[in-house]
Amino acid sequence: AVLFLDLDGFKDINDSFGHQAGDQFLKAFSEKLTRQIRSTELVARLGGDEFAIVSEGIESAESAADLAQRVTDLLAQPFEIGQNKLHAGVSIGISMYPSDGRSPDELLHNADLAMYRAKENPLSSYAFFEESMNQEVQAHKQLVDDIRNGLKSDQFHLVYQPVVDLQQRRIIGIEALARWTHPDSGAVSPGTFIPVAEKSGLIIPFGEWAMQTACDEMLDCINDPHNPIELSINLSPIQLHRGDPLGLVAATLERYQLPPSALDIEITES
């Protein structure tokens, strides 16, 4: 069996206590893990907060699960680093020879895929590889390519949801919502393509397109001197962390000669 380990919450340790404390935590975890393994098991650090365990002589999935649980139990108690008690969890993906691969690279790759499945499951710290995971990866890659091509070929468009003041009986705002008509699949739900755009980083150019398109199409409405309305546009948290949201908004306001009150920036639910 091959176990792929990824520490959960390790970034928070680095951010909160510094990289020196993070390094000490990794060393403490490594020493504890090394003391727990058997003579037929090999443990290695792959890089960052990722580790792997190779266990020979595993005869059943239950035995591999027992090993994963032993590793999980190591992190049940906090690690005392200096004056601090530091906590982290672990997500573990498991692949089995020969059913899940016959080469080291294939086994490690499939254990890595299973690890991501474990991260998505709050009820268990480990997951076994399934062939459907490879199919999901291929489908994800295809969807990323389709989104990128869709942005280039104008497959996306915006629809507008009115915000109505019932007391005044008038529209006071509009919210721009992205829609995608795929040339082969037809309408694709935002719940499908937005998370993929976020994970791939395509949400940054996508967000820029959405803001410019909304202002182009709704400029007369939001710039009406007699009845100005507010334009609501969604920004992903990814744009806040990796993009330049302040520069994007400032450039948009200057380009369309809009007052700041014309735009309402909303953060997506994710």
Single-letter amino acid code for the residue at 172: I
SS3 111: helix
53, 43 contact by CB (below 8 A): yes
Catalytic annotation present for 49: yes
Catalytic residue (one of 49, 100, 112, 146): 49
Closest CA to 41 of 16, 66, 20, 22: 66
User: By C-alpha distance, which of 248, 254, 249, 260 is closest to 222?
Assistant: 260
Phi-psi region of 82 (alpha: psi -120 to 50; beta: other; left: phi over 0): left
Residues contacting residue 176 through CB under 8 Å, at least 6 positions apart: 158, 159, 160, 210, 213, 214, 218, 231, 232, 233, 234
Contact 230, 222 (CB under 8 A): yes
Contact present, 267 and 194 (Cβ < 8 Å): no
User: Residue-wise over 2-36: b if at least 16 C-beta within 10 A, else e?
Assistant: bbbbbbbebeebeeebeeebbebbbeebeeebeee
> Which residues carry out catalysis?
49
